Amino acid sequence: MLDICLAGTGGMMPLPYRHLTCLMLRHEGSQLLIDCGEGTQIALKRRGWSFNPIDYILFTHFHADHISGLIGLLLSIGNAERKDPVTLVGPRGLKQVVSSLRIIAPELPFELEYMELGAQPQESLQLGAFHITAFKARHRIPCYGYTVEIPRQGRFQLEQARALGLPVQLWGILQRGETVEYEGETYFPEMVMGPPRKGLKVSYCTDSRPTDNIVEGVREADLFICEGMYGEAGSQQRAAEHMHMNFEEAADLAREAAVKELWLTHFSPAMPHPEEYLEVAQAIFPNALVGKDGLSKTLKFEE
């Protein structure tokens, strides 16, 4: 199960009813955030999500609207009695940027751990139960999209387990993915587990021109959350000038990547009612939604 909440949907500048861009994910009590513009701590409070379980914060890039809420967020995490380290992930320079911002919050009751992304177009990371693929985007400064996956192991093969002659009470160890030593023999999980089943896959990409590398990174996601800075049909040129995407380009990516569902986000402050342009996206990719602050969904493993 993976809880998804689009905490903020604003690009560039917040509006009174629209927080800056932030995506929140929750799986088995662990929270992962992607981006935290100014006001993210308020958005979290508004949605009732806790601060203490925030284990990971990923940054697409270092423009202010994606990171200006970090200091307030870290202070609120500290105030929620967090003691365990929080891991930050982002483009090269992450530690320098965060350290510089921390001039107004030099003391925190927990450690920060940094993972800076390298030069490859696609990079894999394991953050607790979250399997991450960072994929390069194309913006004015180094920028990444992220795919977050919750893998799902194969079915337990009852017949094979019986055939091994292992006592039933040892089956659970193999099911948890561990090896069993029994009467001088070694038993491996793959002896009783079927091939991995379809897991859960959410992708997030903002502040980029469309690229093949994005299509690759988000392919067949259950949910693709993509920037739609401009809604109007035919606004591709404006989007290109500002190194952003419009609704049509986001919908094109969703179609090419064969994702299941598309949420648009990161709206220009000059577009107070992005829902007016929903049809522009749906004409290309019917299962598109125009995001709004608080839009939530829970993904579950297929039956």
- Residues marked active site are found at 65
| CA–CA dist 253, 248 (Å, integer) | 9
Minimum Å gap between C-beta 235 and a second copy is 19
The answer to whether the beta carbons of residues 146 and 60 sit under 8 Å apart is yes
Q: What share of the chain is helix, strand, coil (3-state, %, to 5)?
A: 25, 30, 40
Long-range contacts of 233-242 (CB under 8 A, 24+ apart): 233/277, 233/280, 239/209, 240/209
Minimum Å gap between C-beta 143 and a second copy is 14
If you write DSSP's letter for every residue of 178-202 in order, what string do you get? Answer: --EEETTEEE-GGGTB-SPEEEEEE
State the distance between the two ends of the chain, measured CA to CA, in whole angstroms.
12
- CB-wise, 27 or 66, nearer to a second copy? 66
The stretch near a second copy (CB under 8 A) out of 98-106, 129-137, 164-172, 236-244 is 98-106
Instruction: Figure out which of the listed residues 9, 21, 22, 38 binds a second copy, where binding follows CB under 8 A.
Output: 38
Strands 2-8 vs 262-265: parallel, antiparallel or unpaired:
unpaired
- CB-wise, 38 or 248, nearer to a second copy? 38
3-class DSSP state of 100: helix
The answer to whether the beta carbons of residues 56 and 20 sit under 8 Å apart is no
- x/- string (CB under 8 A) for a second copy, residues 102-131? -xxx--------------------------
Of 228, 239, 235, 238, which Cα lies nearest the Cα of 262? 228
Residue 79 touching a second copy (CB under 8 A): yes
The stretch near a second copy (CB under 8 A) out of 35-43, 114-122, 142-150, 273-281 is 35-43
Residues from 39 through 78 that contact a second copy (CB under 8 A): 39, 41-42, 45-46, 62-65, 67-69, 71-72, 75-76
The tokens for 295 are: 């839009």
Instruction: Figure out which of the listed residues 13, 112, 129, 164 binds a second copy, where binding follows CB under 8 A.
Output: 13
The stretch near a second copy (CB under 8 A) out of 83-91, 100-108, 207-215, 232-240 is 100-108
- CB-wise, 97 or 164, nearer to a second copy? 97
- CB-wise, 10 or 217, nearer to a second copy? 10
- CB-wise, 46 or 292, nearer to a second copy? 46
The tokens for 287 are: 């299962």
Binding site for a second copy (CB under 8 A): 12-16, 38-39, 41-42, 45-46, 62-65, 67-69, 71-72, 75-76, 79, 96-97, 100-101, 103-105
